[in-house]
Structures are given as structure tokens and as C-alpha cells.
Structure 1
Amino acid sequence: MSLFSDNIRALRTKDKISQERLAQSLQITRGRYVKYEDGTSEAPYDILKKIAHYFHISIDLLLSVDVRKIDIQDLLKLENNRLILPIQVDQAGENFIEVVTQKVKAGYLNGYADPEYIENLQQISLPFLGPGKHRGFPIEGDSMPPHEDGSIIIGRYVENLGEVQDGKTYILITKSEGMVYKRLNKNKKNALVLESDNSFYPNYEVKVSDILEIWEYECNIGRSDKKYETNDIESFKSMFLELKKDIHAIKSST
């Protein structure tokens, strides 16, 4: 028996659907379906996709999470049958915000679709936020001033790429880059251009197919009250370029 077998049996039983009826909806024979449910055969991708759509649940959950332990009704359903979960509220009815701390940041890429991972994240509530699903992410480095290393960016989940607005900042979860916070521009057909507010860092592109999640900036939680000087970055950049010139001149003269 596999987790997938247990899941489809549990979902079918919960909805009081016969094996025959489910098999007909999947356009396969009952005998073929039974093999998936008793674990003697693995469902190919096309059938797996049909089952996921039939029960309105993501393939990630079907394969990796025991759905008997979660309340399907409390999951946030998104386009393409994806889910961000769970949706929990405080006593005032405000959505809790899961916070991805530095300690668990490395595991987010593997756990973003795992309800048990999400449930174990620290939670906060910010009543001034508007509608939508929000989550907090730590940032590193100095590429996006005035936000400093260790700050938490609270983002609102973006359901589709059409919502992304040029020039606004977003947290991106990508297969290759992991978690990044940048200013986005959609001036490429199948890619986004990521820009740092610190001009010291060059722009770069991320393919749309590489993107797992996009979260639009809503607010920042930080501890520093340092006054940000706009000239600091340009001064540092100029000093660095002068240093490179000096090093090049020394090498040329030897």
C-alpha cells in the first residue's frame, strides 16, 4: 500500500463515491482503478492528473501528504488545482500569517506544498492587511535597501503572472534561485527581469517556467532604525570602480 492509494480511497469514501462511478469519470475500467487503490499498480501521469482534478486537490498532496489528517475544506484553492495551506484564523477572524524564519528557510523549497511543514511554521496576525493569503519571508544581504539583512517581508500570494506589475517588489520562490526578493519587470515574453534597488548588483532574468510562487510586497518587519543615506551606495560603487582601475594599472605596469 502507498500513501497515494490510501489518499484516493479516503477521498472516495468521504465523498461516498463507488469505485465504478469514479472509474467512469476517469474514463477507465473499474478493474484498472482498483489496482491504483489497492497499490498493485501505479497511476500514469494522465490518470494522476484526472484524479487530482476530480477531487480538486493538488498532485503534490495526493503523493506526499496523508489527506486523512487535514481538513480539505480549510485549504486555499488556486488556479491549476494548486493549493496553499492551511488557512487558519485567530479569535478575531483574521488570517494567521506563516513566517518562514531563517532557521527553516532552507527547507521551504521542499515544504511549500506540504501542509505539515506549513502548519509547523511560526505564525503572526496583522489585522491591517487587506484580503488575500499572506506569508512572511526573511531576506538576506543589502541588495534591496532600505530593507536590511534579517528583515521579514510580508507578501500577498499572487495567483497568476498577469497580476505582476512592472516596478513593484516581490518575493519569488524559484527552482534554481530559491527564495529572492527583487523588483520585477515583465519586458521578456517567457521570463521576468529581476532588479536590485542597490545598483551595485546587476539585473538578471528568471524563466517563468522556473517560478514556483510569487508573493507581492505588503509590508516589512525589521529591527533597525538606521537612517538610510541614498549617497552611500553610489559612493561605495565609485570607490570600488576606482579600486579596480588602480589594480588594473598596477598589473599593467609590472
Structure 2
Amino acid sequence: MSLFSDNIRTLRVKHKISQEKLAENLCITRGRYVKYEDGTSEAPYDILKKIAHYYHISIDLLLSVDVRKIDTEDLLKLENNRLVLPIMVDREGENFIEVVTQKVKAGYLNGYADPEYIESLQQISLPFLGPGKHRGFPVEGDSMPPHENGSIIIGRYVESLGEVLDGKTYIFITKNEGMVYKRLNKNKKNALVLESDNRFYPNYEVKASDILEIWEYECNIGRSDMKAKIEEPVSVEKMFLELKREISEVKESIKSR
């Protein structure tokens, strides 16, 4: 048995539908469907997609989260069956802001769709942010001044790629790069070009299919009030000219002796 098998059985029973009726809606035979529910056969992508659309739930949740532990009616519904986010709220109904600290950052790629992992994160409340789902992420390195290493970026969840705009900064959760905070340089058809405000770091491209989540910058939580200082990158030509000047000075010094 697999988590997927348990999930589709749980959902079918919850919706009070027979295996035969569900198989008919999926345009397959009952015998074929039973193998998926019994775990004796793996469902291909086209069937996964049909089941996800039938129950209005993301494929991610079907494959990685025990749906018996969550109330699927209370989850955030996104377009095209994108990932459904677990949301924590306080007694007044205000959304908590989960903070992904440096300590737990490594586990976010595996836990971002797991309600138990999200519930275990530290939580804060910032009422001035207004509507939307927000989450805090740690800044690492010096690629995005004035945000220093160790500060926290609060981002608002972006539901679709069509919402992102050139020139704005976002937290990108990607399959290959992990968690990065970058400025959107160019919104291409099937990819995004990301750039650092520190020009020492080169731009790079991320495929749309590689992106798991996007969080638009809302505010920064940090301890420093230092003014950003970005050093201009030194060109190779400038380096050679400086070296040439120094060599000339050495030669002149030798001649004068």
C-alpha cells in the first residue's frame, strides 16, 4: 500500500462514490482503478491529473500528504490545481505568518506541502500587511543588499506566474536552486531570469516547470540600519591598466636609482 492509494480510497469514501462510478468518470475500467487503490499498480500522469481535477486537490497533496489528517474543505484553493497551502489562523481568524528559520530551512523543500511541518514552524503576526497569505524566509549571503545575512524577508504568496512583474523582488522556491531571494529581470514565456542587486553575482534563468512556489516581497525584518554599500565590479581591462601603471612606476623607480 502507498500513501497515494490510501488517499484516493479516503477521498472516494468521503465523497460516497463507488469504485465503478469513479472509474467511469476517469474513463477507465473498474479493474484498472482497483489496482491503483490497492497499490498493486502505479497510476500514470494522465490518471493522476484526472483524479486531482475530480477531487479539486493538487497532485502534490495526493502523493505526499496524508489527507486523513487535514480538512480539505478549509485549504486554500488555487487555479489549475496548483499546490494547496496549509494555512494557520489565530482565534480572531487572522492568518499567522510562519517563519522558515535558518535552522529548518533545509527541510522546507520536503515539508512545504506538509501541514504538520508548516504547523511546527515559528509563527508571528504583522497586522499591517493586510490580506493575502504571508510567510517569512531567511536571507543568506550578500547578493541582495541592503538585506543582510540572517535577516528575514516576509513574502506574500503568488498564485500564478502571470502575477509576477519585472523589477520586483521575490522569494523563489525551486526544485534545483532551493530557496532564493532575487529580483525578476525578465519574464519570459516559459522561464524567469533572476538577478541579484549585488552585480558581482551573474543573472541566471529558471524554468517555469522548476518553480514550486513564489512569494512577493512585502517587508524585511533585520537588525542592521547600515546603508547599503555595493562595490562596483572591477573589469579585466581596468585591472590590466592598473597593473601596467604599477609596472611603469617600478621601471621609473629603477631608472632613477
Whether TM exceeds 0.5 here: the answer is yes
Matched residue, 1:101:
101
Does the 8 Å CA contact 1:85/1:118 hold for their aligned counterparts?
A: no
Q: Which residue of the partner structure matches residue 43 of structure 1?
A: 43
Q: Name the residue aligned to 2:136.
A: 136
Could you list the per-position Cα deviations for residues 198-248 of structure 1 after superposition, in whole angstroms to 9, with x for gaps in the alignment? 2332322222222221110011111223x305xx3237x459997787679
Relative to structure 1, the CA distance from residue 193 to residue 43 in structure 2 (aligned partners, 3 Å threshold; closer, same or farther) is closer
Deviation at 1:38, TM superposition (A): 2.1
Residues 120-159 of structure 1, C-alpha deviations (whole Å, 9 max, x = no match):
2212121111221111110111221111111110111111
Matched, 1:27 2:40: no
Once residues 19 and 248 of structure 1 are traced to their aligned partners in structure 2, the CA distance between those partners, rounded to angstroms, is 81
Q: Is the 8 A contact 1:140 1:150 kept in 2?
A: yes
- Within 2, Cα distance between the matches of 1:179 and 1:153? 12
Q: Quote how far apart the aligned CAs of 1:190 are.
A: 2.9
Give the 3 Å change call, closer, same or farther, for CA 148–32 of structure 1 in structure 2.
Answer: same
Q: What secondary structure is seen at the aligned counterpart in 2 of 1:52? A: helix
C-alpha separation in 1, matches of 2:235 and 2:29: 72
What residue ranges of structure 2 are gaps of 5+ in the alignment?
251-257
Give the drift of 1:89.
1.0
* Aligned partners of 1:75 and 1:83 also within 8 Å: no
How much has 1:79 moved relative to structure 2? 1.9
**1:250 Cα offset (Å):** 8.9
**SS state at 1:107 partner:** helix
Q: Percent identity?
A: 82
Q: Structure 1: 5+ residue runs without aligned partners?
A: none
**Does the alignment pair 1:181 with 2:184?**
no
TM-score, structure 2 normalization? 0.86
CA distance in 1, matches of 2:135, 2:119: 12
The CA deviation at 1:179 is: 1.0
SS in 1 for 2:231: helix
Question: If you compute each CA radius of gyration, which structure gives the higher value, 1 or 2?
Answer: 2
- Provide the TM-score with structure 1 as the length reference: 0.87
Distance in 2 between residues matched to 1:75 and 1:21, nearest whole Å: 26
- Cα distance change of structure 1 residues 151 and 40 upon mapping to structure 2, 3 Å threshold: same
Larger mean Cα displacement after TM superposition, 131-140 or 26-35 = 26-35
Q: Which runs of structure 2 are paired with 1:134-213 in the superposition (5 Å)?
A: 134-186=134-186, 188-213=188-213
- For 1:84 and 1:50, the matched residues in 2 are separated by 17
Q: Aligned residue for 1:89?
A: 89
Rounded to whole Å, the distance in 2 between the matches of 1:34 and 1:151 is: 51
SS in 1 for 2:127: coil
Count of matched residue pairs: 248
